[in-house]
Structure 1
Amino acid sequence: MKLNATSYVDHYTTKDGVRHETPRHFRYICAGKAMKRSECDGQSAYVADKVDCQVIDFLRECFSRIKLTAREVALESRFKAQMTDVKRKIKELEKDSESQKSKLRDLTEEIADALIGNSKFTPDILSMAIEKCKQKIVDNNAEIQELHQRLENQEEELTRIDYYYSQFKSWADEFDKATLERKRMIADELLSEVSVGKGYEVSILMNATYQQFISA
């Protein structure tokens, strides 16, 4: 369940009749828990500082690792990994297309039997299956073509990886001096999910685009 950031100010009156207010308090509210719409075992409200501190510590660890990762090493390793992944996907799609073509041949033969009543399938059902196979082959070919284009445009792919590395590195350089609001904006870009459970147990999932640079 998504947490919503809220804030509040407490008021109190002293013996001399003067009304005072406390500094603003920030917290995260789990609407699902508060309204009993969720089965989670966490709380309905969390003190923001306690959550933020854990997230900030996690980000500092990530930043310390990216600072130790040379640009050349990061780009070369990730580029090779991505190109290997592209080639793997092409092989998988080509294998699936061959499987679909084999299935298509079988269905085409089956529909001839269906037309003379010698099949357990109706011509309509077989026609739908044939169209599904044909569409799958078309979709696979389109994706294969796109992946081959990525292999051909290696310089463009390397530029894209370099952009994300540079962005990650710039956040690492500015983070400690940034305002809390800016830190939260950076966290929103770097992290894909932050889950908070009972006892302020925080689980953090990093955006894979940036995780790739600090993975072992």
Structure 2
Amino acid sequence: MKRVWCLFRVSKKQQVSTDDDIPMQKNACHEFVKNKPNWIITNELYEKGVSGWKKSLNERDEMAILKEGALNKEFDVLLVFMFDRLGRREDETPVMVNFLIQNGIEVWSVKEGQRKIESHVDKLLNYISFWQSDGESQKTSIRVKEAKKQLSEQGYFQGGVAPIGYKIVETSEKHWKNKDRLVKELLPDENESEMIKLIYNLYVNKHMGYRKIADYLNENGYRNRDGKVFVVTTIQRILSNPIYIGFKRYKTAVGGTQPFNENLRIISDELFSQAEQIRNIRSSNIQEQDKSGIPRTGKLLFSGLAYCKYCGSKLTPNYLYRNSKYNNKEGYYKNIIYRYKCPLNKGRLYCDHQQNIWGGKKFDTLIINKIKIILSQFDLRSFLDTSKNMKAELLKLKERNVHNLKKEYLDLTKQHEKLNLEIGKTLIGESSFTPEQLSGTINAIEKQIEVKVSQINSLNKELEKERENYSDVNYLANELENWEQKFNEADEDLKKAMLSRIINKVYLGKNEIEIELNIWLSDYFEGKFN
């Protein structure tokens, strides 16, 4: 009596029935065995929601069970509904069939009969069969991706939950695959999109951090879609999602978003770019334990930007209470005096200088007046010309590096294709290489391809940052026009934000101030103003 193991596989979980079975394949295999008097089914293996093309044999648990069972002589026949249930990869599945047959296992399909390797012709037919399955899978994948890509370009929704700021709307068009369904599209929600604009405005123009924005929304009655309060992670996701400028995220091998769709836009490119720049700076500063770029609170305009000129320490906000007399009535009231203080004025780390406290009101006024004098020398056209030339050269360098990496990537993919074709020759004895040698070489090439893809993605991100910096020059230039008037009309939070965008650090000494401008302005003004 021949012991039969059956393998049932479906690539999508939706194909599995409600009673957790794969009925069509199972019924066909059982009917086939009934016509074989000396066959008996002793084991059934199930692969539910496992792609035979996307996943390699080493990633499939049931393949390991089959190999172990074959080596231990636990069964005599492997039966599948069709051979593509065993796998669809032309570089792996024929090898698996050869392994089973060489270990005394008969490989059968209900629809295609028995697979043999008794001659070169048998091996070639095996290879061609799985090569066709591989090609069909690739074509199906291409068709599905292209259909989704075209629908995305037209603004149609491809499934999932609508991001905050959007709603899902049914169109009158029939679905491309299921004619009983209507195609859906993603559109900005009137109420939620206004909240998205508010969040970006608070982050960029009011210089609030994630926590402060969440608190602001919750205190003012805003709630998430499920009625719950906002948390930091939600704000963080919103401020990093390119969908708000028309690029919906999409999981692809290259890139990370669907084609641009203007109908998805809620905020401007400039506002998103500014938010991206602020996030990158703060992330970098946190990693380096430098919190100068993190949003500042309190009454001092330069808290987080002010440093001691003598020891280089960041000055800390400080205050004291002083009794002040009313002008037009009797009695006294408590007046709060805000100050900058050097933290190293005592203890082991000692700032050896008498000047270690600076009056907040006095020095804030002195610094602002000095900034106004500096910016009075600002010429918009000259600034744009100088900055854009520098950024353009850096941009070209990054683009050349990306181009070179893509060329190397293409060369590796061509080598990979040639090696896959060579596998077919090994199966009919026309190759000077063994399957093991080819497998090792292919694995090495695949690892190199992964490295190149990673490098390309990394450089593309750097390139994108450079492009953002390029647009930031325009944004900063526009903000610097009539800066003094805008500053005088701004509230305290906006003033801090405006100052932090043009200043890197301010050093305070005894009756002296040294201002270090940010990178764009320092290049333009050629250094620091003392």
TM-score range normalised by the length of the shorter chain: 0.5 to 0.7
Match of residue 479 from structure 2: 167
1:202 to 507, 513, 517: 513
- Whether the 8 Å contact between 1:168 and 1:210 is mirrored in structure 2 is no
Q: In proportion to residue count, which structure has more helix?
A: 1
Q: CA RMSD in A?
A: 4.3
Q: Relative to 1, partners in 2 of residues 1:160 and 1:184: Cα closer, same or farther, differing over 3 Å?
A: closer
| Residues 192 and 205, structure 1, Cα contact 8 Å, conserved in 2 | yes
Does residue 62 (structure 1) correspond to residue 371 (structure 2)? The answer is no
Quote how far apart the aligned CAs of 1:88 are.
Answer: 6.7
Give the superposition deviation at 1:174.
Answer: 1.0
User: What displacement does 1:39 show?
Assistant: 3.3
Provide the residue aligned with 2:110 in structure 1: none
State the Cα deviation string for residues 76-121 of structure 1 (Å, max 9, x = none).
3311122234557899xxxxxxxxxxxxxxxxxxxxxxxxxxxxxx
Equivalent residue pairs, number: 165
- SS of corresponding position for 1:174: helix
Query: TM-score, normalized by length of structure 2?
Result: 0.26
Instruction: Tell me the residue number matched to 1:11.
Output: 323
Partner of residue 31, structure 1: 343
User: In 2, Cα distance between the equivalents of 1:37 and 1:29?
Assistant: 14
Partner Cα distance (2:321, 2:392) in 1: 54
The answer (yes or no) to whether the contact 1:29–1:44 under 8 Å persists in 2 is: yes
Look up the equivalent residue of 1:191 and give its one-letter code.
I
Equivalent in the alignment of 1:117: none
2:393 paired residue number: 84
State the partner residue of 1:124: none
1:12–1:21 Cα contact (<8 Å) kept? yes
Aligned match of 2:522: 211
What pairs up with 1:105-184 in 2 under 5 angstroms? Answer: 145-146=459-460, 149=463, 158-169=470-481, 171-178=483-490, 182-184=494-496
TM-score scaled by length of structure 1: 0.55
Instruction: Give, in whole Å, the separation in 2 of the partners of 1:181 and 1:75.
Output: 27
For residues 388 and 332 of structure 2, the distance between their equivalents in structure 1, rounded to whole angstroms, comes to 59
Larger Rg: 2
Alignment partner of 1:51 is 2:363: yes
Give the Cα separation in 1 of the matches to 2:359 and 2:387.
Answer: 38
Q: Deviations over 1:154-202 (max 9, x none)?
A: 7x664332122223336443123445665444323321111222x2322
**Structure 2 Cα separation of the partners of residues 61 and 25 of structure 1:** 27
CA distance in 2, matches of 1:148, 1:35: 44
Q: Note closer, same or farther for the CA distance 1:19–1:208 as it changes in structure 2 (3 Å cut).
A: same
Given that residues 516 and 522 in structure 2 are in contact (C-alpha distance below 8 angstroms), is that contact kept between their aligned partners in structure 1?
no
Alpha-carbon distance change, 38 to 183 in structure 1, aligned in 2, over 3 angstroms: farther
> How far off is 1:22 after superposition?
5.1
Shift of 1:214: 4.5
| CA distance 1:47–1:84, change in 2 (3 Å) | same
The answer on whether the counterparts of 2:380 and 2:481 sit within 8 Å (CA) in structure 1 is no
Q: Secondary structure at the match of 2:335?
A: coil
Q: Percent identity?
A: 15
Separation of aligned partners in 1, 2:371 and 2:457 = 35
AA matched with 1:200: N
Partner of 1:123: none
CA distance in 2, matches of 1:35, 1:169: 46
Asked if 1 retains the 8 angstrom alpha-carbon contact of 2:317 and 2:338, the reply is yes
Where does the alignment leave 5 or more consecutive residues of structure 2 unmatched?
A: 1-312, 401-451
| Aligned counterparts of 1:182 and 1:158: Cα–Cα separation in 2 | 23
Secondary structure, counterpart of 1:78 in structure 2: helix
